[in-house]
Structure 1
Protein backbone atom coordinates (compact mmCIF):
# COMPACT_ATOMS: atom_id res chain seq x y z
CA UNK A 1 0.00 0.00 0.00
CA UNK A 2 1.16 3.50 -0.82
CA UNK A 3 0.19 6.86 0.60
CA UNK A 4 1.23 9.97 -1.30
CA UNK A 5 0.24 13.42 -2.49
CA UNK A 6 0.07 14.17 -6.20
CA UNK A 7 2.68 16.30 -7.92
CA UNK A 8 0.03 18.97 -8.51
CA UNK A 9 -0.75 19.17 -4.79
CA UNK A 10 2.93 19.61 -4.00
CA UNK A 11 3.25 22.29 -6.70
CA UNK A 12 0.27 24.27 -5.41
CA UNK A 13 1.11 23.82 -1.72
CA UNK A 14 4.93 23.68 -1.48
CA UNK A 15 4.94 24.23 2.30
CA UNK A 16 3.02 20.97 2.82
CA UNK A 17 4.44 18.39 5.22
CA UNK A 18 2.77 15.20 6.43
CA UNK A 19 3.62 13.07 9.43
CA UNK A 20 2.43 9.49 8.94
CA UNK A 21 2.17 6.54 11.31
CA UNK A 22 1.32 3.00 10.32
CA UNK A 23 0.15 0.97 13.32
CA UNK A 24 -0.80 -2.70 13.56
CA UNK A 25 -2.48 -4.24 16.56
CA UNK A 26 -4.73 -1.37 17.63
CA UNK A 27 -7.92 -3.38 18.00
CA UNK A 28 -9.91 -3.22 21.21
CA UNK A 29 -10.11 -0.65 24.01
CA UNK A 30 -7.17 1.12 25.61
CA UNK A 31 -6.77 3.49 28.60
CA UNK A 32 -6.33 6.73 26.66
CA UNK A 33 -7.74 9.18 29.23
CA UNK A 34 -4.39 10.31 30.61
CA UNK A 35 -2.87 10.88 27.17
CA UNK A 36 -6.00 12.68 25.95
CA UNK A 37 -5.94 14.95 29.00
CA UNK A 38 -2.25 15.75 28.46
CA UNK A 39 -2.86 16.80 24.84
CA UNK A 40 -5.88 18.89 25.87
CA UNK A 41 -3.84 20.60 28.58
CA UNK A 42 -1.34 21.74 25.96
CA UNK A 43 -4.11 23.07 23.76
CA UNK A 44 -5.66 24.92 26.69
CA UNK A 45 -2.32 26.53 27.60
CA UNK A 46 -2.20 28.40 24.26
CA UNK A 47 -5.11 30.68 25.25
CA UNK A 48 -5.49 31.76 21.61
CA UNK A 49 -8.58 31.40 19.47
CA UNK A 50 -8.21 28.97 16.61
CA UNK A 51 -8.22 31.76 14.00
CA UNK A 52 -5.09 33.24 15.61
CA UNK A 53 -3.05 30.05 15.25
CA UNK A 54 -0.68 29.96 12.29
CA UNK A 55 -1.34 26.28 11.42
CA UNK A 56 -5.06 27.09 11.13
CA UNK A 57 -4.40 30.34 9.28
CA UNK A 58 -2.33 28.39 6.75
CA UNK A 59 -5.21 25.96 6.17
CA UNK A 60 -7.61 28.89 5.76
CA UNK A 61 -5.35 30.31 3.07
CA UNK A 62 -5.27 26.92 1.36
CA UNK A 63 -9.06 26.63 1.41
CA UNK A 64 -9.36 30.11 -0.09
CA UNK A 65 -6.88 29.11 -2.80
CA UNK A 66 -9.03 26.04 -3.56
CA UNK A 67 -12.08 28.27 -4.00
CA UNK A 68 -13.80 27.55 -0.68
CA UNK A 69 -14.91 30.19 1.80
CA UNK A 70 -12.63 29.47 4.81
CA UNK A 71 -15.24 30.45 7.39
CA UNK A 72 -17.81 28.11 5.82
CA UNK A 73 -15.63 25.13 4.97
CA UNK A 74 -13.03 24.46 7.67
CA UNK A 75 -10.28 21.89 8.04
CA UNK A 76 -10.97 19.18 10.61
CA UNK A 77 -8.54 20.68 13.14
CA UNK A 78 -10.32 24.04 13.16
CA UNK A 79 -13.72 22.35 13.47
CA UNK A 80 -12.49 20.31 16.44
CA UNK A 81 -10.95 23.35 18.13
CA UNK A 82 -14.14 25.38 17.71
CA UNK A 83 -16.30 22.61 19.17
CA UNK A 84 -13.89 21.96 22.03
CA UNK A 85 -13.77 25.67 22.89
CA UNK A 86 -17.57 25.93 22.93
CA UNK A 87 -18.34 22.70 24.78
CA UNK A 88 -15.23 22.23 26.89
CA UNK A 89 -14.76 18.63 25.74
CA UNK A 90 -15.06 16.46 22.67
CA UNK A 91 -17.46 13.51 22.47
CA UNK A 92 -15.83 10.11 22.90
CA UNK A 93 -16.02 8.12 19.69
CA UNK A 94 -13.40 5.35 19.85
CA UNK A 95 -10.20 5.28 21.96
CA UNK A 96 -7.99 5.62 18.91
CA UNK A 97 -10.03 8.45 17.41
CA UNK A 98 -10.23 10.18 20.80
CA UNK A 99 -6.44 10.07 21.12
CA UNK A 100 -5.83 11.44 17.63
CA UNK A 101 -8.47 14.15 18.04
CA UNK A 102 -6.72 15.29 21.21
CA UNK A 103 -3.38 15.37 19.38
CA UNK A 104 -5.02 17.47 16.68
CA UNK A 105 -6.13 19.95 19.35
CA UNK A 106 -2.62 20.14 20.81
CA UNK A 107 -0.90 20.75 17.47
CA UNK A 108 -3.74 22.56 15.64
CA UNK A 109 -3.30 20.42 12.53
CA UNK A 110 -5.72 17.93 10.95
CA UNK A 111 -5.14 14.30 11.90
CA UNK A 112 -6.80 11.59 9.82
CA UNK A 113 -7.11 8.02 11.13
CA UNK A 114 -7.63 5.61 8.24
CA UNK A 115 -8.70 2.00 8.69
CA UNK A 116 -6.36 0.18 6.30
CA UNK A 117 -8.79 -2.68 5.74
CA UNK A 118 -11.53 -0.19 4.90
CA UNK A 119 -9.41 1.25 2.11
CA UNK A 120 -7.74 -1.89 0.81
CA UNK A 121 -5.49 -0.11 -1.66
CA UNK A 122 -3.28 2.88 -2.39
CA UNK A 123 -4.33 6.34 -1.26
CA UNK A 124 -3.39 9.51 -3.10
CA UNK A 125 -4.21 13.03 -2.03
CA UNK A 126 -5.08 14.66 -5.34
CA UNK A 127 -7.51 16.89 -7.18
CA UNK A 128 -10.78 15.10 -7.88
CA UNK A 129 -11.78 14.24 -11.43
CA UNK A 130 -15.50 14.47 -10.70
CA UNK A 131 -15.97 10.71 -10.96
CA UNK A 132 -15.35 10.00 -7.27
CA UNK A 133 -18.09 9.21 -4.75
CA UNK A 134 -17.89 9.92 -1.04
CA UNK A 135 -19.96 8.13 1.62
CA UNK A 136 -20.60 10.23 4.70
CA UNK A 137 -21.00 8.90 8.23
CA UNK A 138 -24.77 8.57 7.80
CA UNK A 139 -24.34 6.44 4.69
CA UNK A 140 -25.34 9.15 2.22
CA UNK A 141 -23.36 9.09 -1.03
CA UNK A 142 -22.10 12.39 -2.45
CA UNK A 143 -20.52 13.09 -5.83
CA UNK A 144 -17.27 15.01 -5.40
CA UNK A 145 -16.74 18.26 -7.26
CA UNK A 146 -14.05 18.27 -10.00
CA UNK A 147 -10.87 19.95 -8.78
CA UNK A 148 -11.61 19.44 -5.10
CA UNK A 149 -8.63 17.95 -3.22
CA UNK A 150 -9.51 14.54 -1.75
CA UNK A 151 -8.01 11.37 -0.36
CA UNK A 152 -8.62 9.24 -3.44
CA UNK A 153 -8.67 5.47 -3.90
CA UNK A 154 -8.42 4.77 -7.60
CA UNK A 155 -10.67 6.74 -9.92
CA UNK A 156 -14.00 6.24 -8.19
CA UNK A 157 -13.72 6.57 -4.40
CA UNK A 158 -13.02 9.62 -2.25
CA UNK A 159 -12.23 9.00 1.42
CA UNK A 160 -12.34 12.70 2.31
CA UNK A 161 -14.07 15.91 1.30
CA UNK A 162 -12.29 19.22 0.84
CA UNK A 163 -8.92 17.63 1.59
CA UNK A 164 -8.91 17.63 5.39
CA UNK A 165 -12.55 18.50 5.96
CA UNK A 166 -14.54 15.30 6.43
CA UNK A 167 -13.65 11.59 6.35
CA UNK A 168 -15.69 8.84 4.73
CA UNK A 169 -17.52 6.10 6.60
CA UNK A 170 -15.64 3.45 4.59
CA UNK A 171 -12.23 4.42 5.97
CA UNK A 172 -13.35 5.34 9.47
CA UNK A 173 -12.23 3.48 12.58
CA UNK A 174 -14.68 1.02 14.12
CA UNK A 175 -14.88 -2.00 16.47
CA UNK A 176 -13.18 -4.26 13.93
CA UNK A 177 -10.25 -1.98 13.17
CA UNK A 178 -6.85 -3.60 13.67
CA UNK A 179 -4.48 -1.64 11.44
CA UNK A 180 -4.49 2.09 10.75
CA UNK A 181 -2.68 4.78 8.88
CA UNK A 182 -2.57 8.06 10.79
CA UNK A 183 -1.81 11.19 8.76
CA UNK A 184 -1.15 14.67 10.19
CA UNK A 185 -0.81 17.43 7.59
CA UNK A 186 0.52 20.93 8.04
CA UNK A 187 0.89 23.83 5.61
CA UNK A 188 2.51 26.45 7.85
CA UNK A 189 6.17 27.40 8.16
CA UNK A 190 7.89 24.77 10.26
CA UNK A 191 5.15 22.22 9.59
CA UNK A 192 7.62 19.38 9.01
CA UNK A 193 8.95 19.66 12.54
CA UNK A 194 5.48 19.84 14.06
CA UNK A 195 3.96 16.91 12.18
CA UNK A 196 7.09 14.84 12.72
CA UNK A 197 6.89 15.45 16.46
CA UNK A 198 3.17 14.67 16.45
CA UNK A 199 3.72 11.41 14.56
CA UNK A 200 6.46 10.36 16.97
CA UNK A 201 4.26 11.13 19.99
CA UNK A 202 1.34 9.18 18.60
CA UNK A 203 3.54 6.21 17.71
CA UNK A 204 4.84 6.15 21.27
CA UNK A 205 1.27 6.29 22.64
CA UNK A 206 0.06 3.53 20.33
CA UNK A 207 2.94 1.31 21.37
CA UNK A 208 2.46 1.98 25.07
CA UNK A 209 -1.35 1.77 25.17
CA UNK A 210 -2.11 -0.94 22.61
CA UNK A 211 1.24 -2.67 22.23
CA UNK A 212 1.04 -1.70 18.56
CA UNK A 213 3.79 -2.21 16.02
CA UNK A 214 4.43 1.15 14.37
CA UNK A 215 6.46 2.80 11.63
CA UNK A 216 6.62 6.54 10.96
CA UNK A 217 7.76 8.98 8.30
CA UNK A 218 7.62 12.66 7.43
CA UNK A 219 6.66 13.42 3.83
CA UNK A 220 8.14 16.59 2.36
CA UNK A 221 10.44 17.73 -0.43
CA UNK A 222 11.82 14.71 -2.25
CA UNK A 223 10.52 12.15 0.29
CA UNK A 224 6.91 12.13 -0.79
CA UNK A 225 5.76 8.50 -0.63
CA UNK A 226 5.03 6.22 2.32
CA UNK A 227 4.97 2.53 1.41
CA UNK A 228 4.06 -0.37 3.66
Structure 2
Protein backbone atom coordinates (compact mmCIF):
# COMPACT_ATOMS: atom_id res chain seq x y z
CA UNK A 1 0.00 0.00 0.00
CA UNK A 2 1.00 3.62 -0.39
CA UNK A 3 0.01 7.19 0.32
CA UNK A 4 1.00 10.09 -1.89
CA UNK A 5 0.05 13.49 -3.32
CA UNK A 6 -0.31 13.80 -7.07
CA UNK A 7 2.20 15.94 -9.03
CA UNK A 8 -0.64 18.35 -9.84
CA UNK A 9 -1.42 18.90 -6.16
CA UNK A 10 2.24 19.44 -5.38
CA UNK A 11 2.59 21.90 -8.26
CA UNK A 12 -0.47 23.92 -7.27
CA UNK A 13 0.33 23.89 -3.55
CA UNK A 14 4.13 24.10 -3.19
CA UNK A 15 3.72 25.22 0.45
CA UNK A 16 2.16 21.86 1.39
CA UNK A 17 3.81 19.86 4.17
CA UNK A 18 2.51 16.40 4.99
CA UNK A 19 3.24 13.56 7.36
CA UNK A 20 1.89 10.04 7.60
CA UNK A 21 1.81 7.33 10.25
CA UNK A 22 0.90 3.66 9.86
CA UNK A 23 0.18 1.58 12.94
CA UNK A 24 -1.09 -1.93 13.65
CA UNK A 25 -2.40 -3.30 16.93
CA UNK A 26 -4.94 -0.57 17.64
CA UNK A 27 -7.61 -1.52 20.18
CA UNK A 28 -10.82 0.23 21.18
CA UNK A 29 -10.36 -0.36 24.92
CA UNK A 30 -7.39 1.97 25.43
CA UNK A 31 -7.54 4.71 28.06
CA UNK A 32 -6.63 8.01 26.43
CA UNK A 33 -8.49 10.41 28.70
CA UNK A 34 -5.39 11.92 30.27
CA UNK A 35 -3.58 12.49 27.00
CA UNK A 36 -6.69 13.85 25.30
CA UNK A 37 -7.12 16.31 28.16
CA UNK A 38 -3.50 17.44 27.94
CA UNK A 39 -3.63 18.15 24.21
CA UNK A 40 -7.06 19.75 24.46
CA UNK A 41 -5.69 22.07 27.15
CA UNK A 42 -3.05 23.27 24.68
CA UNK A 43 -5.78 24.05 22.17
CA UNK A 44 -7.84 25.84 24.80
CA UNK A 45 -4.89 28.05 25.71
CA UNK A 46 -4.40 28.94 22.06
CA UNK A 47 -8.04 29.96 21.82
CA UNK A 48 -7.86 32.11 24.95
CA UNK A 49 -6.71 35.18 23.02
CA UNK A 50 -9.07 34.86 20.06
CA UNK A 51 -10.99 32.52 17.80
CA UNK A 52 -9.65 29.69 15.67
CA UNK A 53 -9.99 31.91 12.59
CA UNK A 54 -7.07 33.99 13.83
CA UNK A 55 -4.60 31.11 14.05
CA UNK A 56 -2.00 31.17 11.24
CA UNK A 57 -2.51 27.46 10.52
CA UNK A 58 -6.24 27.99 9.98
CA UNK A 59 -5.79 31.22 8.03
CA UNK A 60 -3.52 29.35 5.61
CA UNK A 61 -6.12 26.62 5.01
CA UNK A 62 -8.76 29.31 4.47
CA UNK A 63 -6.59 30.87 1.76
CA UNK A 64 -6.10 27.45 0.20
CA UNK A 65 -9.84 26.75 0.19
CA UNK A 66 -10.45 30.16 -1.41
CA UNK A 67 -7.97 29.34 -4.18
CA UNK A 68 -9.89 26.11 -4.76
CA UNK A 69 -13.07 28.13 -5.27
CA UNK A 70 -14.59 27.23 -1.89
CA UNK A 71 -16.10 29.68 0.58
CA UNK A 72 -13.91 29.26 3.70
CA UNK A 73 -16.72 29.97 6.16
CA UNK A 74 -18.94 27.37 4.48
CA UNK A 75 -16.32 24.67 4.06
CA UNK A 76 -13.80 24.53 6.88
CA UNK A 77 -10.77 22.31 7.22
CA UNK A 78 -11.24 19.58 9.82
CA UNK A 79 -8.96 21.25 12.37
CA UNK A 80 -10.94 24.49 12.21
CA UNK A 81 -14.23 22.62 12.66
CA UNK A 82 -12.90 20.85 15.74
CA UNK A 83 -11.53 24.04 17.29
CA UNK A 84 -14.76 25.88 16.56
CA UNK A 85 -16.75 23.19 18.34
CA UNK A 86 -14.33 23.19 21.27
CA UNK A 87 -14.65 26.97 21.62
CA UNK A 88 -18.44 26.88 21.49
CA UNK A 89 -19.09 23.72 23.54
CA UNK A 90 -16.01 23.44 25.77
CA UNK A 91 -15.35 19.78 24.92
CA UNK A 92 -15.75 17.15 22.21
CA UNK A 93 -17.74 13.92 22.58
CA UNK A 94 -15.83 10.64 22.85
CA UNK A 95 -15.92 8.61 19.63
CA UNK A 96 -13.07 6.05 19.70
CA UNK A 97 -9.82 6.26 21.69
CA UNK A 98 -7.65 6.76 18.60
CA UNK A 99 -10.02 9.26 17.00
CA UNK A 100 -10.30 11.17 20.28
CA UNK A 101 -6.51 11.31 20.60
CA UNK A 102 -5.97 12.40 17.00
CA UNK A 103 -8.68 15.05 17.29
CA UNK A 104 -7.02 16.44 20.41
CA UNK A 105 -3.59 16.53 18.75
CA UNK A 106 -5.14 18.12 15.67
CA UNK A 107 -6.63 20.87 17.82
CA UNK A 108 -3.40 21.43 19.75
CA UNK A 109 -1.47 21.96 16.49
CA UNK A 110 -4.42 23.47 14.53
CA UNK A 111 -3.52 21.05 11.73
CA UNK A 112 -5.99 18.67 10.04
CA UNK A 113 -5.39 15.01 10.93
CA UNK A 114 -7.15 12.25 9.04
CA UNK A 115 -7.44 8.78 10.62
CA UNK A 116 -8.35 5.98 8.22
CA UNK A 117 -9.00 2.27 8.66
CA UNK A 118 -6.49 0.60 6.36
CA UNK A 119 -8.82 -2.35 5.75
CA UNK A 120 -11.15 -0.02 3.83
CA UNK A 121 -8.48 1.39 1.52
CA UNK A 122 -8.19 -0.31 -1.85
CA UNK A 123 -4.54 -0.71 -2.84
CA UNK A 124 -3.24 2.76 -2.14
CA UNK A 125 -4.32 6.32 -1.52
CA UNK A 126 -3.56 9.47 -3.51
CA UNK A 127 -4.54 13.06 -2.81
CA UNK A 128 -5.59 14.21 -6.28
CA UNK A 129 -8.24 16.00 -8.28
CA UNK A 130 -11.39 13.93 -8.71
CA UNK A 131 -12.52 12.73 -12.11
CA UNK A 132 -16.17 12.88 -11.03
CA UNK A 133 -16.60 9.12 -10.98
CA UNK A 134 -15.23 8.37 -7.53
CA UNK A 135 -17.57 6.92 -4.91
CA UNK A 136 -17.88 8.63 -1.54
CA UNK A 137 -19.86 7.46 1.48
CA UNK A 138 -21.07 9.99 4.04
CA UNK A 139 -20.87 9.26 7.76
CA UNK A 140 -24.62 8.63 7.68
CA UNK A 141 -24.21 6.08 4.88
CA UNK A 142 -25.37 8.17 1.92
CA UNK A 143 -23.45 7.79 -1.37
CA UNK A 144 -22.00 10.87 -3.09
CA UNK A 145 -19.67 11.63 -6.00
CA UNK A 146 -17.06 14.38 -5.62
CA UNK A 147 -17.28 16.91 -8.43
CA UNK A 148 -14.72 16.77 -11.19
CA UNK A 149 -11.66 18.74 -10.11
CA UNK A 150 -12.43 18.55 -6.39
CA UNK A 151 -9.43 17.53 -4.27
CA UNK A 152 -10.02 14.18 -2.63
CA UNK A 153 -8.25 11.17 -1.11
CA UNK A 154 -8.84 8.57 -3.84
CA UNK A 155 -7.84 4.92 -3.59
CA UNK A 156 -6.90 2.54 -6.39
CA UNK A 157 -10.44 1.12 -6.51
CA UNK A 158 -12.13 4.45 -7.17
CA UNK A 159 -13.29 5.18 -3.63
CA UNK A 160 -13.07 8.76 -2.37
CA UNK A 161 -12.08 8.88 1.30
CA UNK A 162 -12.45 12.66 1.70
CA UNK A 163 -14.44 15.58 0.35
CA UNK A 164 -12.86 18.95 -0.40
CA UNK A 165 -9.42 17.74 0.67
CA UNK A 166 -9.35 18.33 4.45
CA UNK A 167 -13.01 19.24 4.92
CA UNK A 168 -14.84 15.94 5.49
CA UNK A 169 -13.82 12.26 5.80
CA UNK A 170 -15.63 9.27 4.31
CA UNK A 171 -17.74 6.90 6.35
CA UNK A 172 -16.17 4.03 4.40
CA UNK A 173 -12.80 4.28 6.16
CA UNK A 174 -13.85 5.73 9.50
CA UNK A 175 -12.24 4.08 12.53
CA UNK A 176 -14.55 1.67 14.35
CA UNK A 177 -14.24 -0.65 17.36
CA UNK A 178 -13.18 -3.43 14.95
CA UNK A 179 -10.33 -1.35 13.48
CA UNK A 180 -6.83 -2.67 14.17
CA UNK A 181 -4.67 -1.07 11.46
CA UNK A 182 -4.69 2.61 10.57
CA UNK A 183 -3.22 5.25 8.32
CA UNK A 184 -2.97 8.72 9.86
CA UNK A 185 -2.28 11.77 7.69
CA UNK A 186 -1.47 15.33 8.74
CA UNK A 187 -1.33 18.19 6.23
CA UNK A 188 -0.52 21.88 6.64
CA UNK A 189 0.08 24.87 4.38
CA UNK A 190 1.18 27.68 6.73
CA UNK A 191 4.70 29.19 6.70
CA UNK A 192 6.15 26.89 9.40
CA UNK A 193 4.19 23.84 8.21
CA UNK A 194 7.19 21.58 7.63
CA UNK A 195 8.51 21.99 11.17
CA UNK A 196 5.07 21.78 12.77
CA UNK A 197 3.99 18.68 10.86
CA UNK A 198 7.26 16.99 11.83
CA UNK A 199 6.56 17.78 15.51
CA UNK A 200 2.98 16.57 15.20
CA UNK A 201 4.07 13.26 13.66
CA UNK A 202 6.69 12.72 16.36
CA UNK A 203 4.17 13.59 19.08
CA UNK A 204 1.44 11.34 17.76
CA UNK A 205 3.77 8.41 17.05
CA UNK A 206 5.04 8.66 20.61
CA UNK A 207 1.50 8.61 21.96
CA UNK A 208 0.67 5.50 19.92
CA UNK A 209 3.69 3.71 21.36
CA UNK A 210 2.95 4.80 24.92
CA UNK A 211 -0.76 3.98 24.83
CA UNK A 212 -1.04 0.98 22.53
CA UNK A 213 2.51 -0.38 22.77
CA UNK A 214 2.93 -0.36 18.99
CA UNK A 215 5.85 0.57 16.77
CA UNK A 216 4.39 2.89 14.12
CA UNK A 217 6.01 3.63 10.78
CA UNK A 218 6.25 7.32 9.96
CA UNK A 219 7.12 9.48 6.97
CA UNK A 220 7.40 13.16 6.10
CA UNK A 221 6.31 13.73 2.53
CA UNK A 222 7.85 16.40 0.29
CA UNK A 223 7.79 17.36 -3.37
CA UNK A 224 11.02 15.38 -3.77
CA UNK A 225 9.71 12.37 -1.83
CA UNK A 226 5.92 12.49 -2.21
CA UNK A 227 5.19 8.77 -1.72
CA UNK A 228 5.03 6.70 1.47
CA UNK A 229 4.98 2.95 0.94
CA UNK A 230 4.01 0.61 3.75
TM bin (shorter chain): over 0.9
C-alpha separation between the residues in 1 aligned to 2:3 and 2:100?
23
Structure 1 gap segments, 5+ residues each: none
C-alpha separation between the residues in 2 aligned to 1:102 and 1:76?
12
Report 1:194-209 matches (<5 A).
194-209=196-211
Deviations 1:114-148 (A, max 9, x none): 11011132000000011112100111001110000
Specify which of 54, 57, 64 is matched with residue 55 of structure 1. 57
Specify which of 190, 193, 208 is matched with residue 192 of structure 2. 190
For the 8 Å contact 2:201–2:218, the answer to whether it is kept is yes
TM-score, normalising length from structure 2?
A: 0.97
Structure 2 gap segments, 5+ residues each: none
C-alpha separation between the residues in 2 aligned to 1:176 and 1:134?
21
Detail structure 1 runs of 4+ shifted over 3 Å in the superposition. none
C-alpha separation between the residues in 1 aligned to 2:40 and 2:219?
24
Deviation of 1:221 (Å) = 3.0
For the 8 Å contact 1:25–1:213, the answer to whether it is kept is no
Instruction: Decide whether aligned partners of structure 1 residues 190 and 56 sit closer, same or farther in structure 2, where only a CA change above 3 A counts.
Output: same
For the 8 Å contact 1:125–1:150, the answer to whether it is kept is yes
Residue 2 (structure 1) aligns with:
2
Residue 25 (structure 1) aligns with:
25
For the 8 Å contact 2:122–2:157, the answer to whether it is kept is no
